[in-house]
Amino acid sequence: MTEPLLTIENLILALPQGADRPHAVDDVSLSVAANEIVCLVGESGSGKSMIAHTILGLLPAKVRVESGAVRFGGRDLLALPAAEMRALRGSDIAMIFQEPQTALNPLKRVGAQVAEAIRTHDPAAGREATSLRVRELFEQVGLPDPRTLVSAYPFQLSGGQRQRVMIAMALANNPSLLIADEPTTALDVTTQRQILDLIRSLQAARGMGVLFITHDIGVVADIADRVVVLRRGRVVEQGPARTVLNQPREDYTRQLLDAVPGRGTLRRAKEDAEPLLEIRGLQKTFITRQGFFSPPRRVVAAEALDLRLHRGETLAVVGESGSGKSTLARMVLRLIEADDGDILFAGQSVRAMGREALRQFRRCAQIVFQDPYASLDPRRKVGESISFGPMAHGVPRAEAERLARQWLERVGLTSQAADRFPHEFSGGQRQRICIARALALEPSLLIADEAVSALDVSVQAQILALLAELKEEMNLSMLFITHDLRVAREIADTIVVMRAGKIVEQNGAEALFAAPRSDYARSLLAAVPGKDFFERASARPAASMPASGAQSG
Amino acid sequence: MRDLVRTFFRRPAGIVGLVLLGLVCLMAALAPVLYPASPWEMTGVPFSRPGENGMLLGADTLGRDVASGVVHGARVSLLIGIASALAASCIGVLLGCIAGYAGGLVDMAIVRFTELFQTIPTFVLAILLVAILTPSLATIILAIALVSWPPLARLTRAQVMSIMRREFVQAARCQGQSTLSIVTRHVLPNAISPIIVAGSLTVAAAILIEAALSFMGLGDPNFMSWGYMIGAGRTVIRQAWWMSVFPGLAILLTVVAINLVGEALNDALNPRISRA
């Protein structure tokens, strides 16, 4: 093997005092050679982004490099003067970030932003030559119609297109090392698949070294040549992807592998039960006026939706962002009013309900939102957030507080959590609090709107297990909204696939995974990260893969 | 809360402002002790220079003690400033809340009503109100409150609207909490910090309006105020500067102090600064 492109040797990063651990990164050594993809896997808080930021000298002011070296092309990046570091950034080493929404300047045309990246490192490049190069780059990253797209503003592009622009910008100066920090986490499954394929093919064509950071081991299975597993700042295991994934030596790696959703036994839909929630011909179109003279923009969020959710059943609504699935959840609870159609809950029309009837209905139908950071009041103690619900329905304060503590324990926290504020909890813990808040009202229907999408894969598995357990215990019916088919497979009896406000396919989970009827469902299935690997893995005898019962958490 | 106090005191501006404001308050509180006689009483020789005839800051055209006027005037200025800012905040927060929460036609009506007030020059309206209602402490407070609430209403409305969209408010609605409970328990506590800051700056503006009203002879005739003193001394400012300068300095210091406190409060209530 040739000289590696990037070597990190015994890197130790010190966190400021009062952090949850003294070292963000503890004695990490790894290397990336030219023409290979190295995946850095770990949960959030494992220090994987810190390593990426160290390489480019972008560490936050409070984090200090205690010891170690980062070598790139024979130079120690940690000792490099600021001017040389700047010359390196964006030229020899380029980076792609997680959030394509915020990584682009919203007020500048995307072509100009890429051109700027070129001119920064090559001031001599002429106007014509630069714009030609920008168009070439746009073509290489698979953006449609580069000629017109260069003059688009970021808000006119979709998330996937923006990420492609970011990649074009990163590749603008032919870097030899590309650092990708969770570049697909914020994207839909199908878009994620396209971006992964793109990175893979560009890497192969250019012979780049890629350091790819992710929390999803499914993604690793798809693109990695070598894997480094990180936990709480320490390297747990590293080696060739094939070896690490097929014969993991460490328990932690095995846990990560087992946490990937979508491999459990499928549930069979119950036939008999009467429907708890029935939706008929639901319509919703959003109309935004753009100006006095321009015609209003119309977005169809729901077109003649028909759904049935039986008692004790879990119905998953799957679709990409913009397919109208979250709007559907909100229309059921009348947080958004539908334009037309019927919503029947236990035979009663939700849309015809008056104020008090709606209040009583919402008690029976609770929701858990996607973003655990936005869905808890930052100025209220957690206990209060939970107990306000029962109190609004006439439970005396002391009793409601007791209930809140009881529920916090039930979802796996301590009763002392009631006296703390939301910012003291992690994402997964907050989502547990949200579940406690919803269930404290003893609903019969629980709507989970992307309830696990913002969480790490391993935390996801725990929350899904908790939901399944509570569902069984309280005989809940669940409307589970997700963009991730793997998650749907883990929990749903019936699956509805939505696209652009329409139902593309409505099928039992078993049937959908065995033989999808629609092309769209097929393409969604094909896009699932790590699909091939896990299919091969589950086809093999259990000898090489530990039983999936080993996951406890 | 401790974070808040700590950040507040880490800023020199906050400390300076608080000390100055404390001095003004002390002056107002101790006025009857320091100068037991009415500030209207002609106790000395007219046109005494500062320090002459036992008068620290000199005497005015009628022989009234300027120092006594400044000290007693602090009470009026602070009272009017705080009372009218409170009244303005009550009107502004209430209307802003209703507009932001209700939306639709109600919102539109309230916004138009607010704009109606904003199109009339503030000071002209204040003069008009006081002139019609005859000048007294109560009418001055009312007039100042009526002209200073619109910015507070707009700020509250914007705050409430952005917080209403947050998911924890939707979660509270799904829990079945009443509108009043949602607004008072979840929306207002999250919206209040910029409103407190704007409210504290309104105090400074109110003091200035009161001074201007008194300067024009529209102050309460029963109370000595800084604006009145400047107004009375302005005709002889070239012969006797001290009659206008000392009350003017008092206004300047008080307003600066309140502004500094407001700014420091702004930083302290901003979680990104206070927790850094």
In this structure, how many other beta carbons lie within 10 angstroms of the beta carbon of residue A352? Answer: 10
Cα distance from A506 to chain B (closest Cα, Å)? 28
Please give the average per-residue pLDDT across A81-96, as a whole number. 88
Residue B276 pLDDT > 70, yes or no?
A: no
Q: Do B175 and A380 touch (CB under 8 A)?
A: no
Q: Which of B2, B159, B167, B193 to mutate to test the interface with A (most CBs of A within 10 A)?
A: B167
Nearest residue, CB atoms, A392 vs list B167, B168, B176: B176
Give the residue from chain A lying closest to B188, CA to CA: A379
Q: Which residues of A touch B175 (CB under 8 A)?
A: 362-363, 366, 388-389, 392, 437, 441
| Whole-number pLDDT of residue B144 | 94
In this structure, how many other beta carbons lie within 10 angstroms of the beta carbon of residue A460? Answer: 25
With residue B142 as reference, give the H or E element that holds it.
helix B137-164
**Could you report the per-residue pLDDT of A15-70, keeping only the tens digit for each?**
887 777 888 888 899 999 988 999 999 888 788 888 988 998 888 888 888 888 89
Residue type, A210: V
Please give the average per-residue pLDDT across A149-174, as a whole number. 87
Q: Using CB atoms and an 8 Å cut-off, which of residues 187-226 of chain B contact chain A?
A: 189-190
Give the residue from chain A lying closest to B193, CA to CA: A379
Contact in structure between A153 and A106 (CB atoms under 8 Å): yes
Strand residue runs (E) in A190-330: 209-214, 226-231, 234-240, 275-288, 297-310, 314-318
**Could you report the per-residue pLDDT of A417-431, keeping only the tens digit for each?**
898 888 888 888 999
**A214 pairs with which residues across the strands?**
A41
Q: Do A359 and B167 touch (CB under 8 A)?
A: no
Contact in structure between A452 and A487 (CB atoms under 8 Å): yes
Between CA A189 and CA A193 the distance in angstroms is: 6
* Interface predicted TM-score (ipTM) over 0.85: no
Q: Which residues of B touch A436 (CB under 8 A)?
A: none
Q: Which of B164, B174, B269 to mutate to test the interface with A (most CBs of A within 10 A)?
A: B174
Residue B3 pLDDT > 80, yes or no?
A: no
- Determine contact: B179 vs chain A, CB below 8 A: no
Mean pLDDT of chain B: 88
Nearest to B86 by CA among B124, B22, B142, B128: B142
**Could you report the per-residue pLDDT of B95-150, keeping only the tens digit for each?**
999 999 988 899 999 999 999 999 999 899 999 999 999 999 999 999 999 999 99
Q: Which residue has the tokens 């049937």?
A: A511
Q: Do A333 and B181 touch (CB under 8 A)?
A: no
Residue A547 pLDDT > 80, yes or no?
A: no
**Could you report the per-residue pLDDT of A334-356, keeping only the tens digit for each?**
988 999 999 999 888 999 999 89
Q: Which of A60-74, A280-294, A468-482, A517-531 is predicted least confidently?
A: A280-294
3-state SS assignment for residue B119: helix
Cα distance from A245 to chain B (closest Cα, Å)? 39
> CA angle, corner A428, sides to A256 and B179, nearest 5?
155
Q: Compare A552 and B49 and report the one with higher pLDDT.
A: B49
pTM of the full structure: 0.79
Q: Which residue has the tokens 């993809």?
A: A37
**Percent residues over pLDDT 70 in chain B:** 96
Please give the average per-residue pLDDT across A513-528, as a whole number. 86
The confidence band for B271, taking pLDDT boundaries of 50, 70 and 90, is low
Cα distance from B273 to chain A (closest Cα, Å)? 15
Q: Do A388 and B181 touch (CB under 8 A)?
A: yes
Q: Which residues of B touch A330 (CB under 8 A)?
A: 170
Q: H helices then E strands: how many in chain B?
A: 12, 0
Please give the average per-residue pLDDT across A71-83, as a whole number. 86
Nearest residue, CB atoms, A388 vs list B170, B175, B189: B175
- Determine contact: A434 vs chain B, CB below 8 A: yes
Q: Which residues of A touch B174 (CB under 8 A)?
A: 333, 335, 362, 365-367, 438
- Determine contact: B170 vs chain A, CB below 8 A: yes
Residue type, A54: T
**Could you report the per-residue pLDDT of A306-322, keeping only the tens digit for each?**
988 988 889 999 988 77
| Whole-number pLDDT of residue A84 | 87
Contact in structure between A207 and A35 (CB atoms under 8 Å): yes
Mean pLDDT of chain A: 86
Q: Which residues of B touch A451 (CB under 8 A)?
A: none
Nearest residue, CB atoms, B168 vs list A376, A392, A393: A376
Please give the average per-residue pLDDT across B216-244, as a whole number. 87
| Whole-number pLDDT of residue A209 | 92
| Whole-number pLDDT of residue A436 | 94
The confidence band for A541, taking pLDDT boundaries of 50, 70 and 90, is very low
**Could you report the per-residue pLDDT of A256-311, keeping only the tens digit for each?**
888 887 766 666 655 556 788 999 999 998 887 766 677 777 888 888 889 889 88
**Could you report the per-residue pLDDT of A484-499, keeping only the tens digit for each?**
888 888 888 889 999 8
- Determine contact: A357 vs chain B, CB below 8 A: no
In 3-state terms, chain B is what percent helix, strand and coil (to 5)? 80, 0, 20
**Percent residues over pLDDT 90 in chain A:** 28
Q: Do B189 and A379 touch (CB under 8 A)?
A: yes
Residue A139 pLDDT > 50, yes or no?
A: yes
| Whole-number pLDDT of residue A540 | 57
The confidence band for A545, taking pLDDT boundaries of 50, 70 and 90, is very low
Residue B42 pLDDT > 90, yes or no?
A: no
Nearest residue, CB atoms, A335 vs list B170, B176, B190: B170
Residue A546 pLDDT > 50, yes or no?
A: no
Which range of A441-445, B224-228, B236-240 scores highest in mean pLDDT? It is A441-445
- Determine contact: A444 vs chain B, CB below 8 A: no
Cα distance from A50 to chain B (closest Cα, Å)? 19
